[in-house]
Amino acid sequence: MNLFSTRSYSWQCVPACNHNPLSDHLPRPFGIDVTMSEKAGEVIVHLKGEVPAIEACALEARLPGLSSRAPDRVTIDLSELTFLSALAMGVLVRFRRAVVRAGGRMRLSPTLQPQVRESLEVAKLTELFELATERNMR
């Protein structure tokens, strides 16, 4: 298999995401909190905290299996997210792809922390993700 194929690729969580019994006793300076709410045919996924590379698999595991439910629209609320690693951005891209393949639309909340907005802009993902407006978030 060509690892650099543009047709398809496989991404797997690596040891950082495997359970380590010793990690239960270590302080966690970061973490991600994922909650979900529904409103008039739209699912809103709220992300709060930080998603460094070591937490990308945790984000992927915590994102609900929405694509199989085929909601009309999914909004990812990043307003309380303070850091987003490149691996976590990849998780969001794959999640968007699954939502679109299921016939839905995915967008990001209009309010982004400056460092999160900059990360998305540098990665050119603001061109991929539709940004909701304050008016249509209500």
Per residue in 117-133, pLDDT tens? 999 999 999 889 888 87
Q: How far is CA 18 from the centre of its chain?
A: 19
Q: What is the pLDDT of residue 68?
A: 55
Does residue 9 sit within a domain? Answer: no
Residue 40 falls in which region: left (phi positive, over 0), alpha (psi -120 to 50) or beta = left
- Kindly tell me if the per-residue pLDDT of 113 is higher than 90: yes
Q: What is the pLDDT of residue 117?
A: 93
- Kindly tell me if the per-residue pLDDT of 22 is higher than 60: no
Q: What is the pLDDT of residue 70?
A: 67
pTM: 0.73
Our CA angle for 34, 37, 42, nearest 5°, is 120
Does residue 99 sit within a domain? Answer: yes
pLDDT digits (tens, 9 = 90+) for 55-109: 888 888 878 665 556 678 899 999 999 999 999 999 999 999 988 888 889 999 9
Single-letter amino acid, residue 88 = A
Does residue 98 sit within a domain? Answer: yes
Categorize the per-residue pLDDT at 135 as very low, low, confident or very high, splitting at 50, 70 and 90: low
Q: What is the pLDDT of residue 111?
A: 92
Does residue 42 sit within a domain? Answer: yes
Does residue 11 sit within a domain? Answer: no
Does residue 8 sit within a domain? Answer: no
CATH number for the domain spanning 37: value is 3.30.750.24
Give the residue numbers spanning the domain of 37: 31-137
Angle, helices 86-101/114-122, rounded to nearest 10 degrees? 70
- Judged on CB neighbours under 10 Å (0-12, 13-18, 19+), 48 is middle
Task: Give the total number of structural domains in the chain.
Answer: 1
Q: What is the pLDDT of residue 27?
A: 44
